[in-house]
Amino acid sequence: MRITVVGSINLDLVASAPHLPRAGETVTGATLARHPGGKGANQALAARRLGAEVCLVGRVGDDAMAGEAIALLDAGGVDLSEVDVDPAAPTGVALIAVDPSGENQIVVAAGANHFVTPEQLPARIEAPLIVQLELPVETVEAAVGRATDFVCVNLAPAAPVSDQLLRRADLIVVNETEAAFYGDLLHHGGGRVVTTLGSRGAVMHQRGAEIARAAPPKVRAVDATGAGDAFVAAICVALLEGMEPEAALGFACAAGALAATRPGAQPSLPTRSEVEAIITGS
């Protein structure tokens, strides 16, 4: 299986703190770590670790952070031939605060991701496609318009998109906040819509009717960063392999749960064998 991911590439600066700050509050006593991240990059590496061949289309800056941002992608065997280097814009950065329960707050400075334009995209995208909304919306819509196969749209972070994009998607993935933002628009097409429910698992709808539901395995959450991206990659891999909806949801819930048990986005992404082991209890 070969998958194309069009998406963001960031370096995550993660502060693990005693609690998340309220508005105007300074929280001390944190520890700092640096991890590769970005929704596009995370989903690309997650799909690769789950067994797919993956090509990532994206952009980094011509700076020292670029090497860190793509290091695990390169080591993991993701095809980076479509990742461009921007001579003027910096590599994207995400500032992440994490509390002991794994909850987080994230602020993203898009940097070079903001300059991924439709001109950078292939004229035709013949492999199954995964996109998110950390790139300019016009670029995301152009990618979906050039796709000739399966299209997964992860509507994160929530932003206005065209009805045409929503109708073209074979699979839409949202969390509860994003689902509330889009409302009934999610169900106007004929594709499947998956809503993640955190520790309560996920539910799949088609044409507004529930068709499957699954719960994650019980784990001790450390850092939820990257868990949603592991879920997106896993549900795509599972459906493309022909799993039935309920089994596919269970597979994706297991991948997301495992990612939450380790710190960082890309370092936490599970392998295929790890996901299968936690499903079977072995």
Give the list of residues 6+ apart from residue 229 with CB closer than 8 angstroms, or none: 39, 42, 43, 46, 154, 259, 265, 269
Q: Which two tokens stand for residue 109?
A: 């400075």
Residue 247 lies in a domain: yes
What does R_g of the chain's alpha carbons equal in angstroms? 18
User: Which of 55, 54, 53, 85 shows the shortest CA–CA distance to 69?
Assistant: 85
**In CATH, what number is assigned to the domain containing residue 195?**
3.40.1190.20
Residue 20 lies in a domain: no
Residue 96 lies in a domain: no
What is the structure's pLDDT at 282? Answer: 65
Query: Which of these is catalytic: 79, 86, 223, 229?
Result: 229
Confidence label for 101 from pLDDT (cuts 50, 70 and 90): confident
Residue 174 lies in a domain: yes
Say how many residues make up the chain: 282
Across the chain, mean pLDDT equals 95
Domain count, the chain: 1
Domain that holds residue 160: 2-9+38-91+111-280
Residue 16 lies in a domain: no
What is the structure's pLDDT at 69? Answer: 97
Question: Is 170 a known active-site residue?
Answer: no
